[in-house]
């Protein structure tokens, strides 16, 4: 057992902690990329990618646009065999239709590329100082240091990082405490504290250590670091279709098949009527009928949704979670580190009657010597102020340390001298009371009063007890202080107005929980919750038909984060929490769910609105193409009535419909990327509004658009 009494340097306490509002630097970054408008340069830059995506292997993933591509090939062939202005015009615009669809996706992906490039540069330059061998001397243990490229680090490797150095990989701080600049990852310029033990032990590769020295045990495999995942995410390479997206794709593919059958069976009819149609016209008819608008924009909408989350400093590792976020109705949060700053420190020793201060301080310190949690270290620091001296290793040779666990809620030490044994424990009030009672000891009446008064003020009381030849007894309490993150109550109120219930689940005692719950303004709280109970509460909510989000930072939150529909891990948290959740909030803001829900809703609404628009605007094109196909055919004069737009000629009518069909995709790229604005309202009102705007708009727009294009095409000779 190494006893390493790291004293927290005082300057660290002056470093500002994360606030719930993003700092100016991060906000600026958001603004820089968040603007919905795309500039033409972006379109141009994405053009090569759009052309590359024409490869059938890529296209086949999008059935609707794949059909258009096959149509483009067919019409090009017939244009070669039977050249005319009309056939070349149609085949040219069909290719453009496919390219525009690819362009939408390429532009959506391109937005993350620059960010990915910066992240790559960070990653490639890191050299790790790996601790290789563990030489065990007489009474000394030592590591040998070797420099290796960060990309070679494996899980369980141990590295050292000193002030000025870059953390070479994701891992846990196993020794020391440091101020870390995480701006490369979070865009946040204020440094944060990373320390061994508690819930702030996780460090991320690519961040910079500003002060002191930490020893880090690597937890990520090469190529699977947080930075790697972030790069894949902003580039969209790891993106998988969500269940909703798949369902919509199947619907679009089915519609496409139906229209292919309809168009194919049209030919014998037309033959019989004495008006056989060319391949070019049949393909043109098919392309206008199938839902090309949504087929072209669907993937871009999904990528843009993930991108909007990145802009709000949330890394969503699953698109399904983003969609689920749109419908969340319960949010569970843990207390320490999520609702509070998580900087729980010993503020005072409060002995029971008859016990001197320094006896309590000494016992508290002894029980904390090997307690690597921030709470434990802060007890050691406080004890020094009571004049308690440090123990050296020789004095502690017979000590057996009992580490803290969320199950026992206690930590401590056992000493043995010959046949005499002395045990010291500190921990949650009822855990220690039970421990004393089990040893036949008594709990003085003022112990309960001390514990309750600390808790009622929102502090966390830890009782300290000993067992020696005089029996087991409580000595007093340690007052741990933590602070509720600023501005949190208003944001919980905002969640309430969105119809989301907030529940705080904490391992802390009911009185402390009640005080913090009242201050933070959560709707409900559960105290003395074990990891299993956190998990059970989520299952219960889910069984009741609720979609549950969980926000947490600790290893004890990991099971709950994994079970929740939306599991948001704080970036300040442990790597276990970050692995378990499906989103990581780089700002570590407990109310980030507000943004996540907005983005989720916006994603669903945008997809719905553009699907409506797509299907409605195909109907109108029908009025342009069908009369054109049968114009001048005896027996079908009635169809001429459908030519309500009074289009110039049948060729120009068909070409206008195809050109309009292609242009509508380009016109809607900005909307697909920006997303339809989300105004909080009922699902019913939203649906009505969307049908009005996008349904009616979809019906009317083609009439005006096709007519305008037709007027221009009249001027082209040969049309
Ligand atoms: N180092 C420690 N030694 C002894 N007891 C501790 C120590 N740290 C915490 N405790 C006690 O154990 C209880 C449970 O701690 P745990 O970390 O499981 O939950 P928590 O962090 O308080 O709550 P949350 O789940 O909201 O983060 C604490 O409320 C405290 O009373
Ligand atoms: K179409
Ligand atoms: Mg916790």
Spell out which residues line ligand 1, taking CB within 6 angstroms.
334-337, 371, 373, 375-376, 404, 406, 409-411, 426-428, 460, 462, 506-508, 554, 556
pLDDT along the chain (719 residues), means of 10: 33 34 40 53 88 94 95 96 94 97 91 78 84 66 83 92 93 92 81 86 91 92 85 74 87 94 87 86 93 95 88 86 89 89 90 94 91 88 86 76 88 86 94 95 92 93 94 96 89 87 92 94 93 90 92 89 94 87 89 89 92 89 80 71 78 92 95 86 78 90 91 84
Measured between alpha carbons, how far is 288 from 269 in angstroms, rounded to an integer? Answer: 20
Atom number in ligand 1 closest to CA 507: 19
Identify the residue whose C-alpha is closest to ligand 1 atom 12: 409
Taking a 5 Å cut-off on Cβ, the residues next to ion ligand 2 are: 292, 618
Residue among 201, 404, 533, 552 to mutate when testing ligand 1 (max atoms within 8 A of CB) = 404
Distance from Cα 66 to the centre of ligand 2, integer Å: 13
From 157, 334, 587, 595, active-site residue? 334
Residue among 338, 378, 480, 508 to mutate when testing ligand 1 (max atoms within 8 A of CB) = 508
Closest CA to 406 of 194, 195, 199: 199
Q: Classify burial at 120, counting beta carbons within 10 Å of its beta carbon; exposed 0-12, middle 13-18, buried 19 or more.
A: middle
Residue 137: the pLDDT is 62
Atom number in ligand 1 closest to CA 534: 25
Distance from Cα 273 to the centre of ligand 2, integer Å: 26
Question: 311: which 2 tokens?
Answer: 């802009």
Taking a 5 Å cut-off on Cβ, the residues next to ion ligand 3 are: 199, 334, 336, 554
Question: How would you list the strands of the sheet with 410-417, edge to edge?
Answer: 345-351, 471-481, 460-468, 420-428, 410-417, 399-402
Distance from Cα 660 to the centre of ligand 2, integer Å: 9
| b/e per residue 206-231 (b: at least 16 CB within 10 A) | bbbbbbbebbbbbbbeeeebbbbbbb
Taking the CA of 371 as reference, the closest ligand is 1
Distance from Cα 173 to the centre of ligand 1, integer Å: 19
Measured between alpha carbons, how far is 442 from 437 in angstroms, rounded to an integer? Answer: 6
Residue 134: the pLDDT is 63
Residue 663: the pLDDT is 96
Instruction: Tell me the binding residues.
Output: 371, 375, 404-411, 426, 553, 557
Find tokens 């669903």 and name the residue: 604
Measured between alpha carbons, how far is 160 from 146 in angstroms, rounded to an integer? Answer: 10
φ, ψ of residue 340 in degrees (nearest 5):
-100, 170
- Provide the sign of the torsion angle of the four alpha carbons 59, 61, 62, 64, taken in this order: positive
Residues paired with 218 in a beta bridge? 171
Instruction: Tell me the binding residues for ATP.
Output: 371, 375, 404-411, 426
Measured between alpha carbons, how far is 334 from 561 in angstroms, rounded to an integer? Answer: 11
Residue 21, Cβ neighbours under 10 Å: how many? 13
Q: Length of the chain, please?
A: 719
Active site residue 334: yes
Distance from Cα 288 to the centre of ligand 2, integer Å: 4
Q: Are 459 and 343 in contact (CB under 8 A)?
A: no
Residue among 424, 427, 509, 588 to mutate when testing ligand 1 (max atoms within 8 A of CB) = 427
Atom number in ligand 1 closest to CA 373: 1
Q: Classify burial at 453, counting beta carbons within 10 Å of its beta carbon; exposed 0-12, middle 13-18, buried 19 or more.
A: middle
Question: How would you list the strands of the sheet with 548-552, edge to edge?
Answer: 314-316, 583-585, 566-570, 548-552, 330-334, 501-505, 524-526
Taking the CA of 618 as reference, the closest ligand is 2
Evaluate if pTM is beyond 0.95: no
Atom number in ligand 1 closest to CA 506: 26
Identify the residue whose C-alpha is closest to ligand 1 atom 19: 507
Residue 141: the pLDDT is 63
Atom number in ligand 1 closest to CA 376: 1
Identify the residue whose C-alpha is closest to ligand 1 atom 15: 507
Residue 535, Cβ neighbours under 10 Å: how many? 21
Q: Is 294 helix (H, G, I), strand (E, B) or coil?
A: helix
Predicted ipTM of the assembly:
0.93
The separation between the first and the last C-alpha atoms of the chain, rounded to the nearest angstrom, is 89
- 267's CB contacts (< 8 A; 6+ apart) are 276, 277, 282
Distance from Cα 508 to the centre of ligand 3, integer Å: 9
- 52's CB contacts (< 8 A; 6+ apart) are 58
Identify the residue whose C-alpha is closest to ligand 1 atom 31: 428
Residue 626: the pLDDT is 80
Measured between alpha carbons, how far is 718 from 316 in angstroms, rounded to an integer? Answer: 53
Distance from Cα 459 to the centre of ligand 1, integer Å: 12
Measured between alpha carbons, how far is 632 from 197 in angstroms, rounded to an integer? Answer: 85
Cα angle for residues 697, 699, 701 (degrees, 5° grid): 60
Question: 218: which 2 tokens?
Answer: 């690597």
- 571's CB contacts (< 8 A; 6+ apart) are 182, 185, 186, 204, 578, 584, 585, 586, 587, 588
Q: Are 285 and 653 in contact (CB under 8 A)?
A: no
Closest CA to 148 of 163, 128, 167: 128
φ, ψ of residue 585 in degrees (nearest 5):
-95, 110
């Amino acid at each position: 057992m190494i006893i390493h009494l790291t004293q927290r340097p005082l300057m660290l306490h002056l470093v500002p902690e994360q606030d719930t509002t993003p700092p100016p630097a991060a906000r600026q970054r958001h603004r820089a990329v968040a603007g919905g408008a795309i500039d033409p340069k972006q379109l141009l830059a994405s053009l090569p990618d759009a052309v590359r995506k024409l490869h059938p292997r890529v296209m086949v993933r999008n059935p609707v646009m794949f059909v258009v591509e096959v149509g483009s090939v067919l019409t090009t062939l017939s244009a070669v065999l039977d050249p005319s202005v009309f056939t070349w015009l149609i085949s040219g615009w069909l290719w453009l239709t496919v390219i525009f669809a690819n362009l939408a996706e390429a532009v959506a992906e391109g937005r993350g590329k620059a960010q990915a490039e910066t992240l790559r540069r960070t990653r490639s330059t890191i050299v790790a100082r790996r601790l290789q061998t563990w030489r065990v001397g007489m009474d000394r243990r030592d590591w040998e240091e070797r420099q290796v490229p960060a990309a070679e680090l494996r899980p369980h490797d141990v590295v050292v990082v000193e002030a000025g150095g870059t953390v070479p990989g994701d891992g846990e701080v196993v020794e020391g405490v440091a101020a870390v600049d995480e701006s490369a990852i979070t865009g946040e310029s204020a440094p944060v504290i990373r320390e061994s033990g508690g819930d702030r032990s996780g460090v991320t590769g690519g961040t910079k250590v500003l002060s002191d020295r930490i020893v880090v045990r690597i937890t990520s495999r090469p190529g699977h670091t947080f930075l790697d995942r972030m790069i894949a995410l902003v580039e969209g390479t790891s993106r998988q279709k969500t269940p909703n997206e798949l369902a919509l794709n199947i619907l679009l593919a089915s519609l496409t098949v139906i229209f292919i059958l309809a168009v194919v069976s049209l030919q014998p009819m037309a033959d019989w009527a004495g008006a056989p149609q060319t391949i070019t016209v049949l393909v043109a008819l098919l392309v206008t009928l199938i839902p090309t608008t949504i087929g072209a924009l669907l993937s871009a909408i999904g990528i843009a949704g993930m991108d909007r989350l990145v802009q709000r400093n949330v890394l969503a590792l699953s698109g399904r979670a983003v969609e689920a976020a749109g419908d969340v109705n319960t949010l569970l949060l843990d207390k320490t580190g999520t609702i509070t700053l998580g900087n729980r420190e010993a503020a005072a020793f409060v002995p029971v009657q008859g016990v001197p201060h320094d006896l309590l301080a000494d016992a508290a310190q002894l029980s904390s010597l090997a307690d690597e949690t921030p709470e434990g270290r802060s007890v050691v620091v406080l004890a020094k102020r009571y004049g308690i001296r440090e123990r050296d290793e020789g004095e502690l040779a017979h000590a057996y340390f009992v580490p803290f666990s969320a199950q026992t809620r206690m930590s401590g030490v056992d000493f043995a001298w010959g046949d005499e044994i002395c045990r010291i424990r500190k921990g949650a009030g009822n855990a220690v009371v039970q421990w004393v009672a089990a040893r036949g000891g008594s709990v003085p009446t003022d112990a309960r009063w001390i514990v309750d008064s600390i808790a009622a003020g929102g502090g966390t009381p830890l009782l300290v007890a000993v067992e020696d030849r005089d029996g087991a007894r409580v000595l007093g309490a340690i007052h741990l202080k933590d602070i509720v993150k600023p501005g949190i109550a208003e944001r919980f109120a905002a969640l309430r107005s969105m119809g989301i219930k907030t529940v705080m689940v904490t391992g802390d005692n009911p009185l402390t929980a009640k005080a913090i719950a009242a201050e933070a303004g959560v709707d409900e709280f559960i105290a003395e919750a074990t990891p299993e109970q956190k998990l059970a509460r989520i299952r219960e909510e889910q069984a009741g038909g609720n979609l549950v989000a969980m926000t947490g930072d600790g290893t004890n939150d990991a099971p709950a984060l994994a079970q929740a529909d939306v599991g948001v891990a704080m970036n300040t948290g442990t790597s276990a929490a970050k692995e378990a959740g499906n989103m990581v909030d780089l700002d570590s803001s407990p109310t980030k769910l507000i943004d996540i829900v907005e983005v989720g809703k916006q994603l669903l609404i945008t997809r719905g609105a553009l699907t409506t628009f797509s299907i409605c605007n195909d109907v109108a094109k029908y009025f342009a193409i069908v009369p054109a196909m049968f114009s001048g055919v005896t027996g079908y004069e009635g169809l001429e009535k459908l030519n309500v737009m009074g289009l110039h000629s049948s060729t120009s009518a068909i070409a206008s419909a195809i050109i309009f069909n292609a242009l509508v995709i380009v016109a809607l790229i900005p909307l697909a990327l920006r997303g339809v604005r989300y105004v909080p309202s009922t699902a019913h009102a939203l649906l009505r509004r969307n049908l009005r705007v996008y349904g009616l708009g979809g019906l009317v727009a083609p009439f005006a658009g096709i007519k305008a294009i037709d007027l221009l095409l009249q001027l082209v000779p040969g049309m």
